[in-house]
Structures are given as C-alpha cells and as structure tokens.
Amino acid sequence: METKTAPENRIFNLTASERFTQIRNRSVEICRPLETEDYVVQPVVDVSPPKWHLGHTTWFFETFLLQPHFPDYKVFDEQYNFVFNSYYETIGARVIRTDRGNLSRPSVADVFRYREYVDRHMNDFLDSSFFTPELADLVELGLNHEEQHQELLVTDIKYILGHNPLFPAYTTDQVSEKRTEAPSEMISFPEGVYEIGYEGEGFCFDNELGRHKVYLNDFKISTEPVTNREYLEFMNAGGYEDFRHWHAEGWDWVKMTNAQSPLYWHKVDGVWMNYTFNGLQEIDLSDPVCHISFFEASAFASWKGMRLPTEAEWEVASDHFDWGRRWEWTNSAYLPYPGFKKEAGAVGEYNGKFMINQMVLRGASEATPPDHSRKTYRNFFPTNLKWQFTGIRLAK
Amino acid sequence: METKTAPENRIFNLTASERFTQIRNRSVEICRPLETEDYVVQPVVDVSPPKWHLGHTTWFFETFLLQPHFPDYKVFDEQYNFVFNSYYETIGARVIRTDRGNLSRPSVADVFRYREYVDRHMNDFLDSSFFTPELADLVELGLNHEEQHQELLVTDIKYILGHNPLFPAYTTDQVSEKRTEAPSEMISFPEGVYEIGYEGEGFCFDNELGRHKVYLNDFKISTEPVTNREYLEFMNAGGYEDFRHWHAEGWDWVKMTNAQSPLYWHKVDGVWMNYTFNGLQEIDLSDPVCHISFFEASAFASWKGMRLPTEAEWEVASDHFDWGRRWEWTNSAYLPYPGFKKEAGAVGEYNGKFMINQMVLRGASEATPPDHSRKTYRNFFPTNLKWQFTGIRLAK
Amino acid sequence: METKTAPENRIFNLTASERFTQIRNRSVEICRPLETEDYVVQPVVDVSPPKWHLGHTTWFFETFLLQPHFPDYKVFDEQYNFVFNSYYETIGARVIRTDRGNLSRPSVADVFRYREYVDRHMNDFLDSSFFTPELADLVELGLNHEEQHQELLVTDIKYILGHNPLFPAYTTDQVSEKRTEAPSEMISFPEGVYEIGYEGEGFCFDNELGRHKVYLNDFKISTEPVTNREYLEFMNAGGYEDFRHWHAEGWDWVKMTNAQSPLYWHKVDGVWMNYTFNGLQEIDLSDPVCHISFFEASAFASWKGMRLPTEAEWEVASDHFDWGRRWEWTNSAYLPYPGFKKEAGAVGEYNGKFMINQMVLRGASEATPPDHSRKTYRNFFPTNLKWQFTGIRLAK
Amino acid sequence: METKTAPENRIFNLTASERFTQIRNRSVEICRPLETEDYVVQPVVDVSPPKWHLGHTTWFFETFLLQPHFPDYKVFDEQYNFVFNSYYETIGARVIRTDRGNLSRPSVADVFRYREYVDRHMNDFLDSSFFTPELADLVELGLNHEEQHQELLVTDIKYILGHNPLFPAYTTDQVSEKRTEAPSEMISFPEGVYEIGYEGEGFCFDNELGRHKVYLNDFKISTEPVTNREYLEFMNAGGYEDFRHWHAEGWDWVKMTNAQSPLYWHKVDGVWMNYTFNGLQEIDLSDPVCHISFFEASAFASWKGMRLPTEAEWEVASDHFDWGRRWEWTNSAYLPYPGFKKEAGAVGEYNGKFMINQMVLRGASEATPPDHSRKTYRNFFPTNLKWQFTGIRLAK
C-alpha cells in the first residue's frame, strides 16, 4: 500500500531533517504506553507486531537511502534484512518460514537501538551534500510510508489489547469520543462530467494520479456518517439474519464467521459494550459506527433502501461535508485510473499489484496521522476485514 | 446469473410453444453423445452434473409457471424440489447436506421423464388461455435461463470428459476449429462521453439495463483475440515465473495451484497437447487461447506492455471487430450500473447479489447458444476460474 | 487391508474354477439392484463407487495372475491400470489427479465387459497346466481380496443410497432385521496365559499369523452386543454432551462433526428413524446398535461404567458367545503380532503399513460374505469412521 | 499428561516447604537466560509461551490447594483463571477465543509477581496446620506437574529460539554434548511371563499403576541409542524417499511436511548444522539422534531390518542399559494398563483421556528435571511430533 510520485519535496517550513525527526518520533510516541510484551504478538495475520512496524519503517530508510546513497554507511545488522523485509528469510542456503508474531528477537531494545542508529545517520545524511534534490522524493515516500505504518500501529495496538481477555486500557487519559449527533441530510449533485484524481504540488501516491474526467448521474449523499444508534437499529431489526440485504459472498461470510456486530462490541449482561482505548465501555450511540466490513456496510445500506457512494461521487462531494473520523467504504472496486503505469523497480511496483478484489475506502480516520489525509487518497481493503477504523456514508 | 426485464415477448416468427420446444430440445441434443454415467459426476464444485442442469431448468418452468398459473397442474414429484432447487434438502424435519455430484437418484431416465412431463404440460399451457401476455416475460426468462444452462452444459461436459484419464471424445464428427490467423491491429477511439447499456425491445438481463453515459479517455483496442501462439510465447518467456506481471493475489494463486498453462493443456513427450471435444490433440497455434483465468489474462497483458479493456471500452468498440469465440476478460469489476435496482421476489434478486469480487467478461463463446449473445451482455466470474471458454483481447 | 499367507489351497469340494466363478458372481449379484447411476458416485473419500470395486478386483487377477503367468494373455485395456490401480494416473509423461467419484468412464457396461473378459481367461487359466500349485495361494488371496471388497460394496452402497435425499430402497424384499432381544450376561475368564492368533490350514491374512501367548488378567465379557435401546438411553442421558466419557480427541470430534447419533439415524417429527436397505424405517430397539465410531463405542462403555474388551480377550472368549452381526470395536490398537514380518513385493506389504493410529475390530457383520469370517480375523479402522457395520460389546 | 496416586509424601530429607521452594525455583532458573520477549511467543500450537508455563503451574497451587484448603487466602487476580486455565475465557457473559501466544498481558513482571505471591502463601500453608497429611499427595502432584512443565519449558524455549532466523544462543556456557560413541550390542531376553508397572512407595502417575504380568516372546534390544552418524546414513541412503519403510500415514506425513531430517538440522553450504542451546553448530556424529517423530523412528528401524521395542520389553530390559538422554519411541500404543481407573474430579481424569492415537515413549531426556525419571514412566505423544528430545533404541 505504499508508493508515490511527487513533484517536489514538501517542507512545511521545516528543514528536511527536522521534518524527518518529527515524523519518526511520532511512531515512538504511539508506542510509549505499551509494555514490552505488547510489541511482540501477532493475534491474526493482518495484524503485525508493533516492533515489526518500528523495524520495517527503519529498514526502508536504511535500504533505499543510506545504503545506496550515503558513502561509508555501515549496515546496523546484516541479518535484519531477513526479519524486516519479508516473510521468507534466507540465511546462507537456509530458508526458514516464520511468522512475524513468532519472532521474540530482535528484542524491543534492539529495535529501538536500530532506530536510533538509522535516525542518527539519516540526520547526518539529510544535512550532507549527498542528499541531492533528486532524493527528496524518496525521503518523502519514506516518511509517508512511516505515516501509513503509524496508522497501522494504532490499528494493530487496538487489536492486540482489545483481544486480550483482560481488556487493558491503552491510555488512562480521558479520551472523550463523545460528540453531539449532527442531523444528517442528503445533498444533491447534478448529472454531468466531473474531474477526479490528484492535482497540485504536494505528495501523493501513484494510484491517485492521472486526474481524469468521469461522467456521473444525478446522486445524493449524506452529510453525516452512520451512527452506532442507527447500526444498532439494523442489528435489532435482524439485519444479520436477513440474506436479502447481503451479497452472496457476504452472506457466506456472515454464516462462517458468525458475524453479529461491529468488531470490539461485546454483549455483557444484556448490555452492548465496546472496547475503546480507555478499556471496555458502554456503546456511545451518537458516535459514528466503526470497525465494520464492506459486507456489513453494504448490507446496512441495502436495509436503509440506499447504497454506498462510488469513489468518484465521494470525491466530488467531499468538500460539502466533514470527513476524517472513519474510513468510508465505497462501492468502487480498487482498479487503476486511466493511464495508470507501474513504475520501474521495487519502490514503484507497490500499488498496482493490489488492484483486484479489494474495495476503495475514502476519507481518513482517528488513527490517521495529522497531515496525512486528502480527498483524493485511495485506501483499499478486502471486503471481509473489520480491524480498520471503517464506517459508512450513505448515497442514493 | 439469471434475471431480466423485457418489454415484450420475442417471437422469431414462431409460436410460443414452437419456440419453447425448439429451445428445450436443444438441451437434450447437447447431451445426446453422453453415456448415462457422464450425467452424474461433479468433478469440482463449479461443475454441475448434466442431469442436474436438465432437472433444474425443468424445475424452473414447473415452479414459476405451471404450479402458480396452470390450474389443476399436478407436480411430477414433490421431492424433486429438494434435489433441483438448492443445496440444502429438507425432508420433514430432516436436513441432509448433499453435493450434487453425490446424487445417483433421480436417475437419468427419471430426469428425462420429468422433462417430458413438464414439456407436455407447458405446451398445453402455452396454447391455453391461462398463458396471458403478462406471463410472456416469465416464459422468456425461463428460456434464457435454459440457454444459460446450455452453455454451462457444454462447459461442464468438457470438464467431465477432459478430466477423465481416458480423455474420451465428446463427438467423432470432425469439428474443425482451425482457422487462418488474422493479422491483429489496434483501432483507436477518441476521448469523450459514450453511452453503454441495453437499449431496444428484446430480452436482456437486469444487470444490462440503465443505459447511461460514461466518460472514456483515448484508447486503442485489438481487432483480434490473443492466439495460442502468443500465449505460448508468454509461457516460454517465463511468464508464469515472473511475479512482476501478476497481481499479488494472482501470484499467490500461481504458487498455490502450480498454474503453468491454460486448462486442458498437457505436455506429452515434450509436445503441448490440448483436450478438445474430439479428444487430445496438438495445440492449434492459430486458435484464440482459451480456458484461462483473469489472473492469467491480466499477467499476459502486462507482459505485452498493454492492459485488458474496461467493459465500457469493449462495448463501445465492439461493432468494429468480430467477437463471439471467447468470453473476453475485462478489467472491470462486476458492479451495478447507475440506478440498478434489485427486483422484488425470488426471480428478481439474482444478479445483484453477485456484484462483488468478480470481474466482467464480454462477448460470447463457442459454447454460447445461437441468438443468446449481444454486445451489452455482462457475464462475470471470480478471478481464479478457468473452466469457461475464456480468452484475451488487448487494449492500451 | 489385503494380504495373506496360506499353507494350501482351500477347495470346499469345488474345483478351483468353480470356486472362482462362485465368488466372482457374488460381486455381480450384490450390484444387481443398482441403477447405472449408483455405480458412479463417491459421496465421501472413504466410499468407493461400486464400479471401481468391480474393476479393481478384476484388475488384481489380470495383473498378478494372467499377465505374469498365462502366456499370450492380452491385456483388456492398457489404460485401465491408471483407473483401477491407484489415485495417481500417468499417461505418457502426464499425471492427472482424479478422484474415483469423478470418473464417468470406463462406463458400467465397459467394466462388466472387463469382468467377463478376465473371468473367461481366468477360467481357462485355472483349468490349464499354467495354474501350478505354487499359484494356488495367490488365487486364494485374490478371492479373499474380492470378498473383502464385497463387504465394502455392501457398505458403500448403503452409504450412497442412504445419503440420497430420496432414500431409495436397495431391495423391496422384506429383509426382516427384527429379532427377539436376548438377555445379556457377563461371563468370566480367569487370569493366566492364553494363546491367540491363527492356527490351522485354511486361508488367513498375514496379520493374524504368529500364534502366540498373551497374559490376561481376570476379565468379564458380555454375551450380547449393545442394542439400539441401550444406545438410545445413552443419547437421552446426554452422553454426547458429557465430556467425561470421551477421549480428548473424541470430544473434539463430537464438537467438530456435531455427532449426535449413529450414522443413518434421522429424527423425523420427533421420532428416530433409521435408513435401512428397505428404506427409512423406525428404529428397531432390540437390534444391535450399528454404524458408530470407536469414539462413540468407548464413550458408551465409559457411561456404562465398563470398557471395551481387548482383542485378545475377545478372541479368547469368542467361543462362548454369538458374534457376526456387527464388527465389534476393541480397545486394542492395530499393531503387529510378535514376529510379524512384511513379505517382499507388492502383494506382501499391505497389512503392515496400516499398523498405526487405527483400532482393531473383531467378529464380522451382516455385510461380511459367508465363509469369510473367523475368530482370529483382525479388522481395523481409524477411530472416527462410522460407515462400517460396527457395534459394541462390553467388558470389565 | 498430569495425574497420580502416591501412597505417601516423599521427603528427600527436606521439609515440605524446602522441597516446594527448591522445585519452584528451578522453573525460574530455567527462564533466567531469556529476554522478556522470549516469554511471550507461541510459534506452533504445541509450544506454549514460557510465561504461560510459569503462570499455569502457579495457578495449579492456587486453585487446588490455597483456595480450597487455606482459610482467608485471597486470590491474586480473579481474571487469571481465564488466562491460565484453558483456551476459552469467559468474562461475564462474554466468551473470547484466544491463543496463548496472542496474549501480551499479563506481563512477565505480573507473572513473576503472581509466582511470588502464591509461593509466599504456599510456604505459609505448608508450615501451617492446614497442611494435613491427606493433602501431601496433592502437593506432590503439583510438584510433579511443575517438573513436567519444566521439561516442556526447556523444549519450548529451544523451539522458540531455534525457529528464530537469528538463531540466538540460550546460553554461552560451553555445554559440551560431545561424548565418545559407545559400541552398541544387542542383549537377549528369553520368552516368558514378566511383570511391569510401578511398585514402591514414591510418587508415580496413575497410568503407571496396576503392576501386572505380561507375556513376552524372545527379544533382543540394543544397549545404545541410535546416533546421528547412523541416522545420517539412513538419510544418505534415501530413507526419506523409500515408501517401503514407512507407515502409509507416515508416508503421507513425509510428503505433506517435506520432512527430510531431524528437527533443528539445517544444511548450510553443503554441511549439516544443528541448532543447539549454544547456537548453530556442526552435527555431532557420535551424539544420539534427537528430535525425530515416531514415523521417522519406525522408518529408521525398518531400514535397519529391525523394529522398535514394545514398552514392556523396554521396561523389562531397562536395568541392563543406560537410558535418560532421549525419550525413546516404543511401538506400543498408549492404552490403559489392566484395571486402570479414572479417578473422580478434575485432578483425577487427566491421563485417561489421552489414551488414543498416541505412542508411548520410555526413558527420559536431557530436558527432564533431575529425580523426575523412573523406568516405569509412560510418556506419550502423537506420531508426527518432533519437538521433544526424542530418540531411537532398536529391538528385534
């Protein structure tokens, strides 16, 4: 989920090395409340251990910037390539299959030493004459890559703590998620030719490029995301038991996984509770529903007699409503924009190969790093996953 | 894959009962070369036993026309509903899970008796006053449903015989599939607003309706489908070993299934052979490649430095080339057209529920019944299936 | 499950070819009530299609007797080796993986032609001077092999018809399985050294050989097998819900397969029905319970405060009770007798390789061919299978 | 794998609380070289995280001794029952399925606090008048349970470190495993009645009880375990490619798992290396082969033209050779001794329920705690597992 093309380095009035340090530190901050043990586990295949995220993003800078472009740089540990690069580790002629969650070493302390070592050299590099303008894009990509993993860190930490039977809180700071519920209304857009896709001079990923015209029919879209209150109505109305609202594959998924509610919801003594970063709490009915699969989003929309918007409709309408608390499922398959081209080499080929059997999500979420969202951003996930901060906006 | 909306009955200068008889007889003709044993087996879950197709299409007319609309009609056998309706058969309070391929009964002779009984009553019905104009659409749907299953019969018979180690021929008639290879060229279409979707007065399925505008960028499309010769070049160039041409999910599929060639290709003593309805024969290099998955079609296109067309591009361009020998994979996900509505009731809900995680195929194939193809027809299959008569047309 | 060592040919006052014909014809008789379609299907991996049994037993005589020992014998069809020998069929350099139940060809008529051809040549062979005394053992093995498959034919036919939602009867002859329930009592045997294993001059399999001493403690064994009445008491007492009576692996099996009763039992409108060869009928309470797994047999015994006998106890006691209606699960693992040796070559290696993770059954069943049972016979199956005619005898 | 019956408490000249402390401390000692992260992971289902072992053995004393028998004892943490008791944790009405390796909490520090708390109270208890003679057996069982888990700790730590691509050493102490290879010879035992099973006054598990007579035929047994040198000969002779030496189920296992050597062997640049607690080292040819499955042990014996001993043969002969470096696979299925009775209640039912589809191992290994071995000890594992310190002794 990581590539880009950016016309120029983005400075935010910071030097390159200040900006580098700021973003890199944020990853460490996210992990600060964790116990050492929390860094290690991988409860399901989609969730990576926090220490792996910390190592992998570091490996990116070491491998793509320091090693090829910073003379005399000495790799921190030759073997880390086996650990932080991919699933198949090769040592001499040996190949060992491991899962990330089985790796107790390198230790958390080792990973932090690795980060400090690479960060120190990166700062030297960014202040040196070896950091040429042509490399600015690559640094920017590395930082956006880091920010993507910051979002995954938040998501995965929630999964790790939220699937522990002790339900430990991530923070004891009172994180109020409560808000007044805004009245939702549908806003209308007329039929015609619109333009979508990234334009401008800042950073974007390659899958957003190729600004192009689309023809849209008349449509209406809601100003507010669907709330827990509304989703609970769907549940109470038997939404999970009525096959008519589900795709055939979604209905199989419901039966196989016994899906009955958003992830992290638990019925305790007849009351629906929700695991939050403050621990297990009663459902906040006015909050936007969160942690649902595409199948559930689509079934909810059908039950409402509406539908999910397409990604083009969402992008065209996005200036007219608030977004950013939930990744919003669209009914658009993740496919290339007209003229999309895979770039050459390892860095360039990342987005294209996922363009099948996944659906586009638009917006951003509470887990998204600040300054890492824009209306043209194309997030994507398979239709069965719930562990992201996903929600619903209706259209018709 | 079965529903519709049709403004009026289509007559072809035949009476309704003549047309009914003609189409129904064709199913029987397709099965004529089979041994009794060939009607029974189900080698993989996607392939249904021929006798099931013959029974299921008959059950359609009995259930949706004769039972509700022909007074005094007596059901042939009450228990056939368990066998020809769905996977879960209920007898009294019992539920037995069976697979179609495990059912030795009803026997083939029983199924033919069932067809004769229902056909006889359908002919009486179509000639009676109970056959009102409002029911013409439903009869037409039943006949199109029968034609869809005729295509599946051909496909499934090929799978059953082609996966028998004796490689029995389906027919000893010399079915020449050899043709002169036409020179392929790319034809260009300019950017702009086009219209796609069904228009006219004949029959179509509900997923083709909602003729609507689309905005297309400049594109080029090939006049000829990809041949076995070209596909063999891809294989010989190591196409199945080079991950760069494959979607991530496609690459996993290659490794897991050990895919190495189109279905029905076997390398015998160093020579590529192909199972055809005449038995095992040498590959005909000038023939369009057949029986490939979406993953393979897409990887081939990438290897050629091109891409698959979208379904809109295909439909817009389709008057400018010959099509109909292969179902052509497009790079469009199977999603609803603007304004698509599921109809009420059992008949109406069929197409919508498959609109996820499948790709659209356009055209028709050698297995498609005559008069059952049109340029707006939207066929669809999951990305890993090879048993249909699928091929490739390139675009860029 | 097929090998032997026999000191001399067994004649039964018949010539070799008369005996051959008699046993071979019995296989055909067993299949006489079947429709062609019934010969083809394989509902689960443990069940083979009847036509495969008919072909495989024929292939034995062709491969091990006619081909090597009858000059000028011409093989019926070279390709049948791929079909009737094993799961992996090789044609030239090709390897195709097929399941027996996917093979519509050779047709049933072909298989009967194959049998007639081989039988005709076997009769000529048995009356010829090429049939030397040294080959008598091999013929005897082939006939015992045929009889083992006759039992499997009966078992598999019951599975095929009993898993069809139409529940077709195998025969309309009134096969009364009803009997008066004998009063069960426990007979005692004193501690001491006993001898078990085959002795005598007739045929036996190699796993019965090596008559040897065993030391048995005092034990008691029941004169009667457990009835449906008693098993129903276990069910009604919650036997399937009480983990204390089950092996850990058995308890997992109960939960995974949702086992709740013997195979072929169906609760219809509150009444327990049983599929028999006459169709679906009410449970005969006085009949010995049938079609249960080892796990169920062992759990029942535990619930009764007793245990299953060991195979040595069973054999020592077997002259003192009637047996032969059910294969009786013992608590003995299927392991080699002292001095057991695998014989050389393909014929000789069959029994030994199954001597792990299976349990011994003693006795015989209603499906066992006449004259194919003896008290030293060691049948064996994995602990989870129910499709054999298996029952329970208690010990303590 | 945990129960017993012991006629009296075993003192070793220590007070109960001294002995308790000594054994409990040994568990902590075993873990001393670990990093915090090593305590957390569970690479495969058979391996438990070290912190789980430390918690589970503590939970035993809290649950079975302190809670019921030490007035005013206050449970350390009510929720630990969900974590250290079983796989299904219930919180109020909620049930969450977790795997031990997914649990980052309780932290390692928490688990050590839990141990200290329970140990402190256990010491008070053992010195108090509440510790009555009738409870001595239960304490003894808890200590033997702890020792069993000490062996599992060693085994599991080896698995965790030995499956990390960095191959970290467990200890840098030079643990010489090298020894001079003793000449192996076969010793003979005559046919006759022997006695096996536990006798004496010390502790034993319930599955060893019921000393009883067995009748053994003449047999010979080797004085030495099979070495790496001999096993390598088997590998080099193609032992893993010759189906004739394998059980049918073992052969399937070889093909499915691609087994080619003992666990922890890696061929690096053409040289066989072995992961040991000192890290990756060259194979020590004179060492007894270790970490092989039953299937491999049995295939090796077949290749040698010999067999594995039965557990009765092993026990009868065990005074005549050295044992204790490897758990030695026997060809005896794990089944109850004559007169075996499950005891009532949770403590008593443990051994019986595993008495199916497992094979007995005799002896002890380098991982077995001192004083925790005896010649009547019946260890058992499924036939496919390699992670224990398992080896081979031949018989014939």
For residue D83, list chain A residues with Cβ-Cβ distance below 8 A: 165-166
For an interface test with B, the pick among C37, C267, C271 (most B C-beta atoms closer than 10 Å) comes out as C37
Does residue C86 register a pLDDT over 70?
no
Residue A70 domain-assigned (yes or no): yes
Does one domain contain both C225 and C144?
no
Provide the CATH number for the domain around residue C297. 3.90.1580.10
Residue C5 predicted with pLDDT over 60: no
User: Which among B349, B364, B249, B341 has a CA at the least distance from the CA of B296?
Assistant: B249
Residue D348 lies in a domain: yes
Q: B145-170 pLDDT, tens per residue?
A: 999 999 999 999 999 999 998 899 99
> Hey, what are A256's tokens?
């196989």
Amino acid at A192: G
A-chain residues near D42 (CB < 8 A): 102
| Chain C residues touching D249 at Cβ < 8 A | 356-357
Can you tell me which residue has the tokens 């992996």? C88
Q: Give pLDDT, residue A214.
A: 98
Q: By three-state DSSP, how is residue B382 classified?
A: coil
| D200 and D272 share one domain | yes
pLDDT the model gives residue A352: 85
C10 in any annotated domain: no
Question: Residue D205 burial by CB count (10 A; 0-12/13-18/19+): exposed, middle or buried?
Answer: buried
Structural domain includes residue C43 = yes
Q: Note the residue count of chain D.
A: 396
Query: Taking 50 as the threshold, does the pLDDT of residue D58 lie above it?
Result: yes
Q: Which residues pair with C276 in a beta bridge?
A: C279
Band of pLDDT at residue C360, cut at 50, 70 and 90: very high
- CA dist B53 and B156 (Å) reads 10
Please name the residues in contact with D315: beta carbons below 8 A apart, sequence gap of 6 or more: D196, D362, D375, D376
What band does B43 get if pLDDT is binned at 50, 70 and 90? confident
| Nearest-Cα residue of chain D relative to residue A102 | D43
DSSP class per residue in D109-159: HHHHHHHHHHHHHHHHHHTSTTS-GGGHHHHHHHHHHHHHHHHHHHHHHHH
How far, in Å, CA of D14 to CA of C38, rounded?
74
- Per mean pLDDT, which range of A226-235, C162-171, D281-290 is the poorest? C162-171
Q: Taking a C-beta distance cutoff of 8 angstroms, is the pair D208, D376 a contact?
A: yes
Which pLDDT value is given to residue C139? 96
Neighboring chain A residues of D82 at a CB cutoff of 8 Å:
165
- pLDDT per position as a tens digit, B269-291: 899 999 999 999 999 999 999 99
Residue C13 is predicted with a pLDDT of 72
| Touching partners of D (3+ C-beta pairs < 8 Å) | A, C
The candidate with the shortest Cα–Cα distance to A38, out of A171, A175, A135, is A171
Determine if residue D291 is left, alpha or beta; phi over 0 gives left, psi from -120 to 50 gives alpha, anything else beta: left
Per-residue pLDDT tens over the stretch B197-232: 999 988 999 999 999 999 999 999 999 999 999 999
- Say whether both C128 and C234 belong to one domain: no
Q: Which residue has the higher pLDDT, B6 or B352?
A: B352
Residue B238 lies in a domain: yes
The residues near A390 (Cβ < 8 Å, ≥ 6 apart) are: A290, A291, A292, A293, A297, A326, A327, A328, A329, A361, A365, A381
Q: Backbone dihedral region of A14: left (phi > 0), alpha (psi from -120 to 50 degrees) or beta?
A: beta
pLDDT band at C46 (very low <50, low <70, confident <90, very high): confident
Q: What is the pLDDT of residue A83?
A: 82
Our count of domains for chain C comes to 2
SS3 (DSSP) at C324:
coil
The letter for the amino acid at C361 is L
Find the mean pLDDT for residues B63-89.
83
Quickly state the pLDDT bin for B2 (edges 50, 70, 90): very low
What mean pLDDT is predicted for residues B305-310?
A: 97
Q: Which residues of chain A register pLDDT less than 50?
A: 1-11, 87-97
Is the model's pLDDT at B90 over the cut of 50?
A: no
Are A126 and A243 in a shared domain?
A: no
Q: Note the pLDDT tens digit of each residue in B228-273.
A: 999 999 999 999 999 889 999 999 999 999 999 999 999 988 999 9
Tokens standing for residue C274: 């049983």
| A38/D91 CB distance under 8 A | no
Q: What average pLDDT does range D292-304 have in this prediction? A: 97
List phi, psi (to 5°) of D98.
Answer: -130, 155
Q: Is the pLDDT of residue B28 over 60?
A: yes
Residues B341-370 as b/e (b if ≥16 CB within 10 A, e otherwise) read ebeeeebeebbbbbbbbbbbbbbbbbbbbe
**pLDDT value at D177 more than 70:** no
Whether C98 sits inside 8 A of B163 (CB atoms) is yes
Which residues from A are below 8 Å from B when comparing CB atoms? Answer: 193, 212-215, 217, 244, 246-251, 294-295, 298, 307, 331-333, 335-336, 338-339, 349, 353-357, 383
Whats the size of chain A, residue-wise? 396
Which residue, C162, C177, C196, sits at the end of a domain?
A: C162
Indicate the pLDDT class of residue B81, thresholds 50, 70 and 90: confident
User: Do A214 and A143 fall within a single domain?
Assistant: no
Which pLDDT does position A344 carry in this prediction? 65
- Please indicate, yes or no, whether residues C212 and C258 belong to a single structural domain of this protein: yes
What chain A residue is nearest to D37 in terms of C-alpha separation? Answer: A104
Cβ-proximal residues to C33 (8 Å cutoff; 6+ apart), any chain: C170, C171
Residue D98 predicted with pLDDT over 80 = no
- ∠ at Cα D186 (D182, D190), nearest 5°? 145
Alpha carbon D99 to its chain's center: 21
Check CB contact under 8 Å for B355 and A251. Answer: no
Span D143-147, average pLDDT: 95
| pLDDT score, position D240 | 97
SS3 C45: coil
Instruction: Identify whether residues C224 and C148 lie together within a single domain.
Output: no
C235-251 burial: b if 16+ Cβ within 10 Å, else e: beeebbeeeebbbebbb
ipTM rounded to 2 decimals: 0.92
D178 lies in some domain:
no
CB D50 within 8 A of CB D34: yes
Assess whether D143 and D218 both reside in one domain. no
- Say what the pLDDT of residue C135 is: 95
Spatial separation of the C-alpha atoms in residues C378 and C1, rounded to whole Å: 10
C173 occurs within a structural domain:
no
What is the pLDDT at residue A350?
66
Q: What is the distance between the alpha carbons of residues B17 and C361, in angstroms, rounded to a whole number?
A: 62
- Torsion on CA atoms B59, B62, B64, B67, rounded to nearest 10: -140
Q: Which domain holds residue D255?
A: 186-391
Quick one: DSSP state of residue C222?
A: E
Q: What is the rounded distance in angstroms from the CA atom of residue D9 to the CA atom of residue C232?
A: 45
Across B136-145, B186-195, B387-396, C288-297, least confident range: B136-145
**One domain, residues B222 and B309:** yes
Rg (CA), chain D: 22
Predicted TM-score of the model (pTM)? 0.90
**How large is the average pLDDT for residues D290-295?**
98
Specify the pLDDT at position A249: 95
Determine contact, residues D146/D57, Cβ cutoff 8 Å. yes
Q: Map tokens 């929309």 to a residue.
A: A301
**How close A88 gets to chain B, by Cα (Å)?**
14
Same domain, A240 and A345: yes
In a domain, C312, yes or no: yes
Q: Which pLDDT does position D94 carry in this prediction?
A: 34
B133 and B273 part of one domain: no
Among the partner residues A37, A94, A269, nearest to D93 by beta-carbon distance: A269
Check whether residue A227 and residue A375 sit in a common domain: yes
- ω into A106 cis (within 30 of 0): yes
The C-alpha atoms of residue A150 and residue D355 are separated, in whole angstroms, by 50
Q: Which residues of D touch A93 (CB under 8 A)?
A: 267-270
Count Cβ–Cβ pairs < 8 Å, chain C vs chain D: 67
Q: What is the mean pLDDT of chain C?
A: 90
Residue C9 clears pLDDT 50, i.e. is over it:
no
Which of A82, A105, A163 minimises the CB distance to D37? A105
Most confident of B102-106, B303-307, D76-80: B303-307
